[in-house]
Structure 1
Amino acid sequence: MELNLKGKKVLVTGGSKGIGKAIAEAFIKEGAHVGIVARSNTELLQAKEELGVLTYPKDLGKHDQRVQLMSEFMNDFGAIDVLVNNVGSAHGKGVLNTPSSVFGEAMELNFITAVHLSQLASKLMISKGGGVILNISSLYGKESGGLPSYNASKAALISFTKSFSSEVIKNNVRVIGIAPGAIFHPNKEWKRRLERDPDFLKKYAREKIPAGRLGKTEEIGNVAVFLASDKASWIVGSTISVDGGQSRLNY
């Protein structure tokens, strides 16, 4: 299917590894011009070598660095057609053992970052006639299962996706989301679990996921490019679950 994304200018936050990197790669395969953001220079350099993207080392938990990012991206690309808000991290433990300040940290990185970058990008998109903002939340933003502070921040992102979409669709800016389920990539958490139990992934998939396996990062990337394309032009404000049937909800 031709998605007509060739030449589009795409910014992916948290794009140096895992789901973000797979999303960046999917856009590149469609002929888009991509910039990625992360804190780790080492991971950014590796992604640059592998994908040929422009890279931006930023701590997106900081307001001024988000402003700098958008300015630098515009200097390099001249426009922004697609913003992918993917950066995020898990914080804390259970509610009783997590200080309220940690909930604040989770909201700043996982939610406020997306809100602020969406504000900055949407104004630029409106001035050029339109664009797409894609928010990567989580299955656990729809239902319980992850860390409470993470759940809350991702639930807020899903709500924001719906409310902001209604505000800017009249300006031809589509705001949409993806809620991934369990996606395997070799991060610290998955490695820790596998070191503790080499059969952890098989057990988890058997118990939690009707499809019987964990998802692949490229499966999120494939959905991302479709949602960002005109083929998905009538999808507005929705956050699509991509989870192999893991969700217990009927939507």
Structure 2
Amino acid sequence: MNEDGQRSFDSLGKVLVIIPTYNEAENVRPIVKRVRASVPDADVLIADDNSPDGTGKLADEMSADDPQVHVMHRQGKEGLGAAYLAGFQWGIEHDYGVLVEMDADGSHQPEELPRLLTALKGADLVLGSRWIPGGRVVNWPKHREYLSRGGSTYSRLMLDVPLRDVTGGYRAFRRQTLESLGLGDIASAGYCFQVDLAWRAVKAGFHVVEVPITFVERERGDSKMSRNIVAEALWRVTAWGVGARASKITGRRPLP
């Protein structure tokens, strides 16, 4: 604890919370405020994909008022994976020791961030998990839950990763972990990006830990989930899994 009673994460290095945004004008102020209250020492990077609803302008206003809030203006909507990759690169260039993925819509509760950072003291990557004991989802229709559970189970079996929530996007990485994952050749742009990173971390021998979180369905704005995102994930995970199995037979290194 520090002098203000807040839990200290100084041993991990500077913490950067990366929040990609596209049309999140209703959500961006509340989520940043909650992050800053939950872990006051953490910085925030808002990576905005040129939102037509003015999210980028609001982000600039917050940055002008708070030196721990930074803004990255991107050219357009290029996908979640591309936004995170750009955020990771920015964080590495600015010497952050921890880089956190967090959604802008409130589904990832900033109040649970200290739990992820505490676990990271003994790990290389921490996943906020909905599907381990203690984890749960709130206000999700059953078809969304089945889709998410099924996607994680399929990914776990196809890729042989010992993780219950492979598709979740609330994560804390040590900088050294990200630098070792070959970020330059990641092609997945949608939510499949999360599966890709988790699989790479496990294959590289990093210590990956899951901690339970409560995932809350967004109250404002529209979900970015689409059939194309699901189709991309299914196609890529299947290709990766088949390739990994083939490599065991042929002795060739599988493509990521």
Indicate the TM-score class for this superposition, using the shorter chain for normalisation: 0.3 to 0.5
State the TM-score, normalized to the length of structure 1: 0.40
| Structure with greater helix percent | 1
State the TM-score, normalized to the length of structure 2: 0.39
